Structure 1
Amino acid sequence: MSYGLPSKQTVNAVGGRLRARDVAVGTRLWTLDGLRTAQTTVTHVMAAKARTAVEVVTGHAAFTVAADLPLITPDGWVRAEDAAGRTVIRTHARKLCRERLTFRVGYAFGYFVGATCADGTVGRNYVSLVVNDEAFASRYARSLNEATGLDAQPQPVTRPSGYLGRDIPGFRVRVVSSYLADALRQYAGGDAHHMRQAFPRVVLRDREVFDGFLDGYADGDGCRAKHWAGRTLVSANVPFLVDLAAIIGARFTPARKGLASHLTVVDRWAARGTFRPEHHDADPVESSWVTVEAVRPRTAPGKPFTLYRYRLRPHPTFLVNGHLVRAAE
């Protein structure tokens, strides 16, 4: 039977890190439910003495556990002492206490994603849009608020104009949320830079979401035609426009010599019957695989280790320095 953690080894508790000996019945610990974080509650705490343990070293952290404590790998659970060279699952421990948003996936969500793809900036822990048009900034703020629940308001700013050679007035919408920033990066294939972003297939859930995306993207990087019923979208990101053209059934020829390309979106594009709904989860994946670089034996120099193990509900797993381990059965 596995006895898990030396007394001074910390675990990821909901209120912050705790030493193993300070975990009590009722303490809530972080865990992973699939690929996303969840909470679980300690129902029993047990302790035993041991002379040996192992230090597990990954590319992100090191932690000390009992040699037989199970770690999850793509092939199932393995004992910590046998984990060297294997990949184990982890999450970013510093992001555990951040606010997790509840996305309302509808027209407003699609508009927000489309406008961000066209004109937005996705930082490490923030999302912003800076534009000249106050009406566009207001629509973006309303959509962001409706889709995420975050408070977003347009603010007047000035920004330099390379063409005019002077500062010009504009409007900025900015929210701080690493959860939202991570989600947008994942929608765009891992890189939200306008020239490298992939088409965000999360907006293909249904026509309402996709119509919102088209409107948001067109407000940022498009214009309505004067002599025919439709819009023209502009981007130098050719793979992005290629994917979008296939979805709306449009012909698309990239511009030559690295110039911005144009995609025509007629108002009656849906009559072509090329739109196919796809379901993609809007919540970001909060875990990844990491390689165990070394497993080092640790022997108690004097007094034996006091190893603590727990029983948990509803999930029988918890996080140690962001790495998933299994509790007592």
Structure 2
Amino acid sequence: ARAPRPHNTTQGARPPPSITGRGPIALHTGGPEVSIGTIVAFVSLQQGLFRPAVSLLSTGVQIQTSLALFQRIFEYLDLPVDITEREDPVHLDRIKGEVRFENVTFGYDGKGGPVLDGIDITVPAGSSLAVVGSTGAGKSTLGHLVPRLYDVTGGRVTLDGVDVRDLDFDTLARAVGVVSQETYLFHASVADNLRFAKPDATDEELYAAAEAAQIHDHIAALPDGYDTVVGERGHRFSGGEKQRLAIARTILRDPPVLVLDEATSALDTRTEAAVQKAIDALSANRTTLTIAHRLSTVRGADQIVVLDAGRAVERGTHRELVERDGRYAALVRRDAQLEPTR
């Protein structure tokens, strides 16, 4: 008799999946068959579900960040306004431009003693005043009181005999133009930046203002001329070019009172000469208050005031102050020593 055939445990089982490419590959785990295509579809679907979930989490983070930012913005907007217009302000149709500082005292809140103390200065209409002194003497602060960027804490500043605190904002904006060391230009065309001072200015007026500011030829040589975008904060222009654009903008505005706050202190000697020509054109027939660090820009002023620790210690013309051999003469000698290194 034949020996019994050994029991074949795989009898009736399906052959293993093909690896020759003649048929679909399937995995057997004792359950339903799962093809490679099903796995690929599952993974792709899973990634499609994860992306929106991750984006939703990122959106939550952005919302929380925005809420913190808006909280700071609203805290700033809710701060009390220090400079306000009175209920019945004075409006001036014609402005001559006489500026007076009458026993002016000013101090920052909680910042120690007064920055300015007992300043009495009269600047006749159409004349020029230069304010000089060492760093921290209060020069820029004095200039900021005229356009009412700050209000005096004692005494008063008058324009044509009227306290600037009593003038309406429209009169003050028309009366006083400021050219500072820091020039603010917008991410717009050159023409738009100039028209910020006078929105209805014609092209001819733009050209005339730019020529007076010694910047027209440079603008005309640009690829798009006056339509050239200056870039954020004017990064496409040099310091001297930005200063001349600011001067052209002020010329276009045509204010009777001009405040020049160290407009050339950060420039080299050659650029300063070009900007000074523009400033001379701007200052003609205007009441001009020049805050200066370089004394070469103030020698032709009708009146020079030397500030020291917030007080006016000397005043007179350039010739008078040099002959007096006081603080101003010492500043002139210091400036002469520094000139070759600039």
TM-score normalised according to structure 1 size = 0.24
TM-score normalised according to structure 2 size = 0.23
Bigger relative contact order, structure 1 or 2 (CA pairs below 8 A, ≥6 apart): 1
Q: Which has the higher strand share?
A: 1
Q: Which has the higher helix share?
A: 2
Asked which structure has the greater CA Rg, the reply is 2
